[in-house]
Structure 1
């Protein structure tokens, strides 16, 4: 697999990638200092603009938690009071049905407000029924501009693959002691542009006629770090990239097979050139075009290679066994996972991994976000 990758030039090592980037990209794509300076005022304004027309009191409460003395605090307090005004029972009854209809996991849905840091608006009985941590598979959305997250349970699994590429060896037991949440989808063009509009991320051109729900690509690891920093400020939550172990745990969806759906490729399960329709050589499909795995996570096989937080190591010898990020000082080569729509079925296995220079943008690379749940 490794030699095939280099031979067909689908993906390349960091040094060659930099060389190719210098010859094949416009200079401004690598120019330093292209990101406009972001200020707390700009973040606050972006947050407010994303919720100012909301009809959910929890959105205004989230704003007040992030900016208790913000410029819009009086207005947020007034709107929150109005939305929670009597008849309180009617207001409380109006909120939950929408998320319950969205996913057939009614007991799990009340956990979303608890995860977003908002105080419960429901009566004490409903609050008592809300679990401290979102049920596995429950969806969480911390702010209107935030990507939808999926709650992933704590647990143990075998990471890596002893019968595949040497970089995936040795297969080893990893225990993730606390639940976390990961993006249900890869970050989309629309979500990235919200960060651009708030002056927290650089504007990066996408191919003509790219739809808003397309996964945002041509991103470096450094770009992804700017996005999670902005998202954390806008939401008041500790967003980050998933660790490599968290990513594989979520991608496997509780399974131990080569692919999350079994040992053999099944057409229509992933976005790759050997995986069946919908597929186009020109671009990846929109997020969610293929079925979710058992944890409710989409597009971990194919679509885009996804950045994770870890520094690249040539194999898993001496890798952490607690799910933490395997980092080192001044690391400039980072891990990407999952393959892309341009690769074949061999790259769709849950253990597939590769490396890329953290500062280099590549048209098959994107990411999804994560955060801890406590």
Structure 2
């Protein structure tokens, strides 16, 4: 039944000449390609494509919250009713939103360093590990340095590739913030309690947290440690994630299995949850899970591309900004999202099951 309802929504938004073709290939259809890129319709279609096979009531509730009169609203309501009937004792999780863009599979061109700007890497290796307080995440100190941010052969939002200079050393989380570390803030009554799925371990990355939630955490961490904790800027995040490399992935020009926690990155992998932090190899700077695991909030406001982006590594903010950048992909994404330049956006107040973060602080 839901396949038929989905077909109605797709046909309603497509030209009549496309109907027969859409009907024959609907189950594998890439919905984001039906409408103009970065349009409101594209985001709705990409959202639905990302949840249409979900077994979680909250995913469909999130769709209805974002698109109460959307083209798949009736189907979402039907799915909710069916799932609740199958599990009458289940309690729905807080609403969450997923807006994943369609992303082309990596190609040889994508794997190469951007040709328009000479690749420049950091001149020094990562430094010491830092532990500022018992509850603080372990940090790795990184040197100042220059690199090429973005990718001219990938998603348009990653263009233009441009030189960035990080003028001062800084420290960034060796891993994403864990459930245990988040709960220390909850115990201190400085962070909201965010329910994690059943079976989540203390060493799993905390997820379903918003940008606003992450801001509460870094504020508490700064008070607890006496150090200037914050979210990394987008430029700092990519500088750290590249680990001094200039290739599409921190491990090289081509995708390799066993390097990241994603659905096409090799076993072990589970659709239900990401692995514990640090389960996969670290990049050359000693940082784990910069590709896959959970999407990571950074401090910057979302811009559709890097035109006029700052070249000094500072956060690129904006007035009354409510849409913030997330980086790195998640365990539910495929290998195309593991490219180090991958970026997307979320409303700062929205909690989503695939979103987490890592912390940073200045060293001066």
What is the TM-score when the length of structure 2 is the normalising length? Answer: 0.69
Among 276, 285, 300, the alignment partner of 1:295 is: 285
State whether residues 10 and 343 of structure 1, in contact with CA within 8 Å, keep that contact through their aligned partners in structure 2.
no
SS where residue 10 of structure 1 aligns? helix
User: Is 2:178 the counterpart of 1:151?
Assistant: no
User: Is 2:259 the counterpart of 1:212?
Assistant: no
- Partner residue, 1:344: 334
Change beyond 3 A, Cα 1:16–1:140: same
Post-superposition, which runs of at least 4 consecutive aligned residues in structure 1 deviate over 6 A?
20-25, 27-30
Q: Deviations over 1:191-242 (max 9, x none)?
A: 0000000000000111112110000000100000000000000000010000
Among 330, 334, 352, the alignment partner of 1:362 is: 352
**Which whole-Å CA distance do the structure 1 matches of 2:209 and 2:142 have between them?**
25
State whether residues 153 and 180 of structure 1, in contact with CA within 8 Å, keep that contact through their aligned partners in structure 2.
yes
The runs of 5 or more residues in structure 2 that have no matched partner are: 1-29, 34-42, 52-58, 81-90, 97-123
User: Is 2:271 the counterpart of 1:281?
Assistant: yes
**Which whole-Å CA distance do the structure 1 matches of 2:226 and 2:335 have between them?**
39
- How far residue 138 of structure 1 moved from its aligned partner, in angstroms, is 1.4
The runs of 5 or more residues in structure 1 that have no matched partner are: 31-133
User: Is 2:292 the counterpart of 1:252?
Assistant: no
**Which whole-Å CA distance do the structure 2 matches of 1:155 and 1:289 have between them?**
28
- How far residue 3 of structure 1 moved from its aligned partner, in angstroms, is 3.2
- How far residue 251 of structure 1 moved from its aligned partner, in angstroms, is 0.1
- How far residue 329 of structure 1 moved from its aligned partner, in angstroms, is 1.6
**Which whole-Å CA distance do the structure 1 matches of 2:162 and 2:307 have between them?**
9
User: Is 2:46 the counterpart of 1:9?
Assistant: no
State whether residues 47 and 63 of structure 2, in contact with CA within 8 Å, keep that contact through their aligned partners in structure 1.
no
Change beyond 3 A, Cα 1:254–1:337: same
**Which whole-Å CA distance do the structure 2 matches of 1:339 and 1:202 have between them?**
24
- Partner residue, 2:321: 331
- Partner residue, 1:311: 301
User: Is 2:223 the counterpart of 1:233?
Assistant: yes
User: Is 2:158 the counterpart of 1:168?
Assistant: yes
Name the stretch that deviates more: 243-252 or 202-211.
Answer: 202-211
Change beyond 3 A, Cα 1:274–1:247: same
- Partner residue, 1:131: none
State whether residues 31 and 49 of structure 2, in contact with CA within 8 Å, keep that contact through their aligned partners in structure 1.
no
State whether residues 271 and 301 of structure 1, in contact with CA within 8 Å, keep that contact through their aligned partners in structure 2.
yes
- Partner residue, 1:266: 256
